[in-house]
Amino acid sequence: MTDSSPPLDIPVSEATFCAVDVETSGLSMTSRLIEIGAVRFGLAGAREEFQTLLNPCERISAGATGIHGITDEMVASAPRAPDVLPGLLNFMRGCVFVAHNASFDVRMIGNELARTRTPQPGHPVVCTVRLARSRIKDVPNYRLATLVDHLGIEVERLHNALPDARAAMGVFLEAVGGLGPGTAVGELPGFMGAFDAVAPPSVEDIEPTGDLQELETIARSRLTIEMEYGPGSGRAPVVVTPLYLFEGTEYSYMKAYCHRDGIHKTYRLDRIIDFRRI
């Protein structure tokens, strides 16, 4: 899909915006997406919405579930990132990307795009935290919940992707109120740059040679590989997402998510004949 991003000099009154929020499987920057919510809107108020859960191919940490309430059981039958990302990119087409603490959402989406070798889009990015700091005064902090309460924005449960995206849209609309209709997107106080430059993906862009030592890096980055596994070379390749390596009493092992069976499995490293990134 060809990227179609609006120019930076387009007036906010003419631009289409897409407020986005994501929830993740853990609290690290290499965690996987488990929910995406997005609201496409303009200053006139018309809007469309996009929401989906995602199967992260790994366990959701207790700390993450404590924030958003999403469990392993809730995402077990959900689509995986490669099946969801094209729809998200199509939904955001032609929009200015808006998010609360935008660098986080950009990086997490960017990581998933990098894992599937999808080019990063060039959408202008506006952070509603930065925008609110400049345009909204007399609030104790600029957390989303605080701003929602201060501004009287009606949303359901925060810390889920679609309600948070709606809340970010509300903060954005309140913050740009009073700005001249001819104000360009690139002149907004919360403007951060283009999506592909805001937060370069932290996923290593490696081409495995089949060396087993590379599996540590692949597991840290949550990359997916196709491997030839077993005592002989006649078996069909297995597609897995490595999670971590560990030592047993006699052999070294890899815990990985098996995409064919949809479960986590343990593989002996000495039985991995060859592998490649897909």
Catalytic residue annotation: 159
The CA radius of gyration of the chain, in Å to the nearest whole number, is 21
Beta bridge partners of 17: 41, 96
Query: Distance between CA 68 and CA 221 in Å, rounded?
Result: 23
DSSP assignment letter at 186: G
Query: Distance between CA 146 and CA 45 in Å, rounded?
Result: 23
Of 48, 235, 20, which is closest to residue 107 (Cα–Cα)?
20
Query: Distance between CA 147 and CA 125 in Å, rounded?
Result: 20
* 74 SS3 class: helix
Tokens of 107: 């990086």
Tokens of 140: 């104790």
